[in-house]
């Protein structure tokens, strides 16, 4: 079994939710999960990527979410979907239990959004 971690804002609080992931899912499923027309990927580590709305920074009402990974700050806009990366094939895959545990120990998700697109 593999997973994705969805990060989003609800009632001005940053939330995260672990969801089951089928490794046969494709970009269309990622876009549907984020509720966007076009998704873009930001590499966070050698094996973990953040998928976001390609045009999130241009949309009014989107929140800016801050992540800190081993001292490196990332600012991503809109909903975020953390997924794994198969280094051999370059394909997106779900996260393992081990990677989910690593995320909970090493990725600090700021509890409040750091900004708002208006």
pLDDT at residue 2, as a whole number: 94
| Structure confidence by residue, pLDDT tens digits, 48-60 | 999 999 998 888 8
Assigned token pair, 11: 């009632």
pLDDT at 17 over 90: yes
Domain, as residue range, for 30: 2-116
Q: Which residue has the tokens 């609080």?
A: 13
What percentage of the chain exceeds 90 in pLDDT?
Answer: 64
Q: What letters, b where the CB count within 10 A reaches 16 and e where it falls short, cover 28-43?
A: eebbebbebeebebee
Assigned token pair, 37: 């027309």
Number of domains in the chain: 1
pLDDT band at 23 (very low <50, low <70, confident <90, very high): confident
HEC readout, 4-62: EEEEEEECCEEEEEEEEECCCCCHHHHHHHHCCCCEEEEECCCCEEEEEECCHHHCCCC
CB atoms within 10 A of CB 84: 22
Q: Which residues pair with 52 in a beta bridge?
A: 40, 80
pLDDT band at 28 (very low <50, low <70, confident <90, very high): confident
20-24, 32-36, 49-53, 114-118: the lowest-pLDDT one: 114-118
């Amino acid at each position: 079994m593999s997973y994705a971690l969805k990060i989003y804002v609800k009632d001005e609080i940053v939330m995260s939710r672990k969801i089951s992931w089928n490794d046969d899912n494709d970009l269309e499923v990622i876009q549907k999960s984020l509720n966007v027309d076009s998704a873009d990927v930001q590499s966070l580590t050698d094996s973990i990527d953040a998928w976001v709305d390609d045009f999130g920074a241009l949309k009014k009402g989107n929140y800016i979410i801050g992540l800190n990974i081993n001292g490196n700050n990332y600012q991503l806009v809109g909903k975020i979907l953390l997924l794994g990366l198969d280094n051999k094939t370059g394909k997106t895959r779900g996260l393992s239990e081990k990677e989910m545990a690593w995320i909970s120990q090493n990725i600090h998700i700021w509890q409040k959004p750091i900004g708002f697109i208006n």
